[in-house]
Amino acid sequence: MSATVQITAAEINKLRQATGAGMMDCRKALTETNGDFEAAIDWLRKQGQKVAAKRSDREAKEGVIIAKTSADNKVGFIVCVACETDFVSKNADFVAFAKTIADAAVNNDVKSLEELNETAVGGAKVADLVNDKLAAIGEKIGIAKFVRIEAPFVASYIHGANRMGVLVGLTQEAAEAGKDVAMQIAAMNPLAVDAASIPAETIERERSIVIETMKQDPKMAGKPDEMLGKIAEGKLNAFFKEQTLLAQAFVKDGGLTVEAYLKSVNPSLKVTEFRRVALG
């Protein structure tokens, strides 16, 4: 490690919070990777540690998440209004305020966070309403996340007292199936719809971690690279089964995959995309 790189307690704690690994392991991971946060996560995994999932759906520790669809269910929106404390996030007036902002997004078919901030509600811009609310409450608040998807049919779901929102795009109207799949996504937090939807760099990163982990296993010592490659592919298939929506076991009926469940509803019913936003 370069002598100029200093690992701070705050950096160690950040890695610990993100991965669930022990403090000493986090310190060593950051030391070995010159303080590179993402590389430190990979280093921990290459040592065989099962680290907590680090997902971009976690936007704020506290706040209110609203998931809604347009009246024709062809467009879905998630708005996360963040705050500093659960005292504020659980306040009925603050929840109502977040719903007002989400309604503005739906009613004006807003396309971006920037557009939402400029949208008028009762004669005032959303950005000004946020600033007024900040001044009234006395703690930092803001719109932390805005998500919009379009599909022939969009289902929305809010879980855990506005702490998580899910949108699911489907190829045709299927309200009950849409809710079931949204609840699946809330519970199981898949990375993508299917293996083809996972970026190539993510797959390669996973493959390299699997191979490096095997190389450190004494039982794998001396095994040819070709054999390691085949075993790695098997482990990647297990990764896809666990991390992709259609391949996951359906929570409401473990005897079916999500893909099989959708086919049982309608052979042509498919998921086009989904989004999941959670506090935490």
Q: Are residues 135 and 67 in the same domain?
A: yes
Q: Which domain holds residue 117?
A: 62-163
- Tens digits of residue pLDDT in 42-94: 999 888 887 765 554 555 689 999 999 999 999 999 999 999 999 999 999 99
Residue 185 inside a domain? The answer is no
pLDDT band at 258 (very low <50, low <70, confident <90, very high): very high
Q: Are residues 156 and 87 in the same domain?
A: yes
Q: Are residues 33 and 78 in the same domain?
A: no
Residue 41 inside a domain? The answer is yes
pLDDT for res 278? 95
Residue 225 inside a domain? The answer is no
* DSSP string over 78-129: EEEEEES-HHHHT-HHHHHHHHHHHHHHHHTT--SHHHHHH-EETTEEHHHH
- Give this prediction's pTM: 0.77
Tokens 């310190």 belong to residue? 27
Q: Has residue 139 got a pLDDT over 70?
A: yes
pLDDT for res 49? 80
The tally of domains found in the chain comes to 2
Q: Are residues 79 and 27 in the same domain?
A: no
- Tens digits of residue pLDDT in 146-190: 999 999 999 999 998 999 999 999 999 999 999 999 999 999 999
Residue 209 inside a domain? The answer is no
Q: What are the tokens at 123? A: 């004669």
Integer Cα distance of 119 and 102 in angstroms: 11
| Domain endpoint, select from 105, 133, 163 | 163
Cα separations in angstroms, 23 against 13, 188, 224: 7, 27, 35
- Give strand pairing partners of 68: 77
Residue 25 inside a domain? The answer is yes
Q: Are residues 66 and 29 in the same domain?
A: no
Residue 231 inside a domain? The answer is no
The pLDDT mean for the chain works out to 91
| Domain endpoint, select from 163, 179, 207 | 163
Q: Are residues 25 and 68 in the same domain?
A: no
| Domain endpoint, select from 163, 195, 217 | 163
pLDDT for res 196? 92
**CATH number, domain containing residue 22:** 1.10.8.10
Residue 252 inside a domain? The answer is no
**Residue 6, phi then psi, degrees to nearest 5:** -110, 125
pLDDT for res 2? 42
pLDDT for res 26? 92
pLDDT for res 226? 83
3-state secondary structure of 51: coil
Q: Has residue 1 got a pLDDT over 60?
A: no
Q: Are residues 75 and 155 in the same domain?
A: yes
Q: Has residue 277 got a pLDDT over 60?
A: yes
Average pLDDT over residues 5-29: 88
Residue 230 inside a domain? The answer is no
pLDDT band at 213 (very low <50, low <70, confident <90, very high): confident
Q: In what order do the strands lie in the sheet with 153-159?
A: 153-159, 164-170, 271-278
**CATH number, domain containing residue 134:** 3.30.479.20
Integer Cα distance of 122 and 129 in angstroms: 10
Average pLDDT over residues 231-253: 92
- Tens digits of residue pLDDT in 80-123: 999 999 999 999 999 999 999 999 999 999 999 999 999 999 99
